[in-house]
Every structure is written in C-alpha cells, then in structure tokens.
Amino acid sequence: MYVCNCNGLRQRDVALAIEAGATRPRDVFTRHQCTAQCAKCVCEMRQMISDARLDFAIAAE
C-alpha cells in the first residue's frame, strides 16, 4: 500500500527508513532521496514512526 503517492513510497519503504533511524518524515524523504510534495502522507508517516517507537519501548522492557 502506498503511503506517499507523490513519491511512490510504500509502507515497506517507510518502515525500512524507520528501521534505519528515521525519526521524522523529513528523514524518510531524505533516505529515499525525495521531498514532500503535497504532504498528505506526513501524518501517516508520523503515526508509523510513533508506533515503531512504542513497539521498541515495549520490547525494551
């Protein structure tokens, strides 16, 4: 499923960027050598980053 239609970024692409250390949507775009166009995907990216942080925190307990 696409997260960013403008740049063709899929959930998998965003997840890989998060695993590589992305902590903001800007980091995700930088990782994939693109920039936000319409920014409709930014909220979903933020949620994915937040979910990944929560999962990591729970796993660390």
Stated as kind and residue range, the H or E segment containing 9 is: strand 9-10
> In this predicted model, what pLDDT tens digit does every residue of 7-31 receive, in sequence order?
999 999 999 999 999 999 999 999 9
Enter the pTM of the model.
0.89
- Sign of the C-alpha dihedral, residues 22, 43, 52, 32? negative
| Spatial distance between the Cα atoms of 32 and 17, rounded to a whole number of angstroms | 8
Nearest residue to 28 via CA among 42, 2, 51, 1: 42
The domain spans of the chain are 2-60
Query: d(Cα 44, Cα 49) in Å, to the nearest integer?
Result: 9
CA distances from residue 20 to 15, 30, 61 in whole angstroms, order as listed:
9, 12, 21
- Domain spanning 2-60, CATH class: mainly alpha
